Amino acid sequence: MTWRGRDVLRPAPDDLDSPLAASSFPLAPYANRIDGGAFVFEGRAVRLPATPQFEPHALHGVGWRSRWSVVRAQGGTIDLVLAAESGPEWPWAWTASHRLTLNEDGLEMSLSLANEDAAPMPAGLGLHPYFAVEPATRLQLSAPKVWLTDVREIPERQGDAADLVDWSEGVAVAEAPFVDHAYADWGGRAALLHDGWRVDLTASPNAQWAQVYAPRGEAFVCVEPVTHRPDAHNAPTGEDSGLAVLEPGCVLTLTARITASET
């Protein structure tokens, strides 16, 4: 995705062989890590296989590593569908739909998850865009709280954004420390402030968390709208972790929009 010849999202290579090298990918039926791939839902013990390269955790669900079907590609819109039976990677049946619409105003993305099973299932969604950064690019994201993690990158406690990086006034990505954390109550808005132009991300209200992935020395930063915090499946009883419970036949939807403009 480019705007006036400038990269909005990092370019994917022509010989793309992994979603980790893509410009963006969808997260379903959950986002980010599940500690050890294990959790209990309504009295049912679940054990998922570890995701390669991210052992011992299960990461980002099934959708990002699966082959989707193109059901429509017309007029700047692509509709993708993924139907999954219950199995080792997720013991419920479900269907996901992903729509991408590109026009002169920007890129609109929607991701939906339907429970096709006979029993309720835990559900979550996320979008994982890789935003291109220039040497002076600043990330601006107003979020008062962040989930601080242990050495296994599993949330341990919620702290003030300033305990890690407070992006609210705009922080140069190149000068930031390593970040791979979930920011809470970000208001569904973030901006990449480049030299003379900007990229804006807006997300639907149910994306209460933004997972920021800012590795050192890379030409990208990820700002991922997600409906729940990492390891929400193991959140203490009573915590508003964002994890939804989808009854059979019910649907969860997440939307986001990316635009660019002069400053």
Tens digits of residue pLDDT in 158-195: 999 999 999 999 999 999 999 999 999 999 999 999 99
Tens digits of residue pLDDT in 127-169: 999 999 999 999 999 999 999 999 999 999 999 999 999 999 9
Report the candidate in 201, 147, 145, 137 with the shortest Cα–Cα distance to residue 6. Answer: 137
84 vs 137: CA distance, rounded Å = 39
Which pLDDT belongs to residue 149? Answer: 96
67 vs 219: CA distance, rounded Å = 27
For tokens 């933004």, the residue is 210
Tens digits of residue pLDDT in 99-117: 999 998 899 999 999 999 9
Q: In the chain, how many domains are there?
A: 1
Residue 61's beta-bridge partner residues?
28
46 vs 170: CA distance, rounded Å = 41
CB 223 within 8 A of CB 210: yes
Phi-psi domain of 114 (left: phi exceeds 0; alpha: psi -120 through 50; beta: other): beta
Q: Is 65 helix (H, G, I), strand (E, B) or coil?
A: helix
Supply the range of the domain harboring residue 32.
2-15+24-262
**pTM exceeds 0.85 for this model:** yes
Where residue 10 falls among pLDDT bands split at 50, 70, 90?
very high
Name the helix (H) or strand (E) containing 85: none
CATH assignment at residue 231: 2.70.98.10
Burial class (CB in 10 A: 0-12, 13-18, 19+), 44: exposed
pLDDT, averaged across the chain: 97
